[in-house]
Chains A and B, each alone.
Chain A
Amino acid sequence: MNLLFACIFFVASLLFTIAIILLRLFKNRRENAKKIYQDQIGDFINECLFNEEFDIEAEAERFRAEWLKTNLRRKIAIRQILIFNENLKGESEKQVKRLFYLLRLDQFVFEILKKSAWHQQSRALYVMSELKVLKPALVAPFLHSKIHGVREQAIYYFLKTSDSDPLRFFENLTVELTLWEQLYIQDSLQNVYQGKIPDFSQWLEHPLLSVRLFAIRMIREFSQFENIATLIPMLNHRDPLVRKETIKTLCRLNFEKLPSILLAQFQKEEENVKLEIINAIRSLGTLAMLQDLRSNIKEDENRIALKLLKAEKKLKLLTTE
């Protein structure tokens, strides 16, 4: 019996070792092939970019028919085109983009979008964003994807390809934006999008709460002082999150009348909003205003009482300095 188990164990170990070696060999072979393909497509792109005697259209057609035969080659070609696109500008960058279409890699990307797994779709959306392939109708459905990564890439696509209206895709949104997505959009607006920053007040009435909150936050981040008047009525919004964010924004925009408005509504507010009111009055109001709030704090509101004490202390320190 022991001998039998020993034999089984030996055979299993042997098979396992052989499987690992074969996998390694397969991977090495694939990596070598990738390296060769990368060099071949790289050489071809360089010829297209810098050889003036090169008939790009005819050569691209020949290259496509003779070389771009497998999906692996197409994927490597796309990756190389992305690298060239990222590092070059001017005429060369335009030529790289043109090559993408001449090799009909756009059709390959569209096929991936239609049929493939979510991680490939996400990659395809990234390619379309980077190469500015203008097919918004094709990308729009991915804004509703259940997979976060795909949704994020779809958002990135609209931000990257837009020249003047980067948040137009908000019109098509039906699912709340996550906090990460909001941060991602903000970061893209600040670092990727190159056009004029939109007026965020147009989304203050959006059906999705996350979009409304995002719009209020962006008015603050991009210092849109012209929207102060539009924001004031939102201090009485039915949703406490909106009221809180509005207070924060109006405070940052140094709206002078804010402390007196907030003093009047402090008593009826919810705890989180009250805390924000204390912050705002500490920043824009006076010590006397903070002291006025004391009488409006209920016995069980310990957090608010503590916050108020701290705010008074800070303001006292500031006024004595």
Chain B
Amino acid sequence: MKKRILVVEDNPMIVKSLEFKLTRDGYNVTVAVDGREGLRLLEKEAFELVITDLMLPFVTGNELIEHIRKNNPELPVIVLSTSNQEETIIEAFEIGVNDFITKPFSPNELSLRVKRTLNIH
């Protein structure tokens, strides 16, 4: 059965590319265009991995990750963010993300990191 990935991202281009690439890699991809929709989907459905931006409308990426850690601590999270500041990255790891990818990103690298994260968990 295909593994399910939730992508929470508000940039339509990135959403489309991730959806396209990850679907071709054999995953079942669900998209949420803001944090609120992400939370709603997490409560309704089960996923094997979450890929999220940090700056999201309504509910921020950090809030979303904190919610995941409280309610589903085993669910791996990869952050895809434009921020390359050390402070932001450290903060993200402190609240429990499994990997951090900065934009601009390489889709092939992201694909490998998704595979690795899913293998570990």
Q: Which of B11, B20, B103, B104 contacts A46 (CB 8 A)?
A: B20
Q: Closest A residue to B17 by CB, please name it.
A: A46
Q: Is B106 an interface residue, CB under 8 A from the partner?
A: yes
B73 at the binding interface (Cβ < 8 Å): no
Given contacts A50-B24, A51-B24, contact A88 B105 (CB under 8 A): yes
For residue A94, give the distance in angstroms from its CB to the closest CB of chain B.
11
Interface of A is mostly: helix
A90 interface residue (CB < 8 Å to B): yes
A residues within 8 A CB of B103? 87
In the complex formed, the residue of A with least CB distance to B14 is A87
Q: Is the CB of B104 within 8 A of A83?
A: no
Q: A50-B20, A50-B21, A51-B24 are in contact. Are A90 and B109 (CB under 8 A)?
A: yes
- Nearest A residue to B25 via CB reads A50
Residues of A with C-beta under 8 A to B120? none
| Contact assessment for A87 and B106 in the assembled complex, using a CB-CB cutoff below 8 Å | no
A84 near B107 with CB under 8 A, answer no
Shortest CB distance B104–A (Å)? 4
- Picked from B13, B16, B17, B106, the residue with its CB within 8 Å of the CB of A91 is B106
The majority secondary structure among interface residues of chain B is helix
Q: Produce 1/0 per residue, B96-119, CB < 8 A to A.
A: 000000011111110000000000
Q: Chain A 48-75, CB within 8 Å of chain B: the 1/0 string?
A: 0111000000000000000000000000
How many chain-B residues does the 8 Å CB contact rule pick out? 16
Report yes or no: A89 in contact with B24, Cβ–Cβ below 8 A.
Answer: no
User: Are B17 and A88 in touch, CB under 8 angstroms?
Assistant: yes
Chain A contributes a number of interface residues (CB within 8 A of B) equal to 18
CB distance from B107 to the nearest CB of A (A): 5
Most B CB contacts (10 A, CB to CB) among A43, A47, A50, A80 go to A50
Residues of A close to B20: CB separation below 8 A: 46-47, 49-50
Instruction: List 27 A–B pairs whose Cβ atoms lie within 8 Å, in order of A's numbering.
Output: A42-B12, A42-B13, A42-B16, A46-B17, A46-B20, A46-B21, A47-B20, A50-B21, A50-B24, A50-B107, A80-B13, A84-B17, A86-B104, A87-B11, A87-B104, A87-B105, A88-B106, A88-B107, A89-B104, A90-B106, A90-B107, A91-B106, A91-B108, A92-B106, A92-B107, A93-B104, A93-B106
- Which residues of A line the B interface, CB within 8 A? 42-43, 46-47, 49-51, 80, 83-84, 86-93
The interface of chain B, by Cβ under 8 A from chain A, is: 11-14, 16-17, 20-21, 24, 103-109
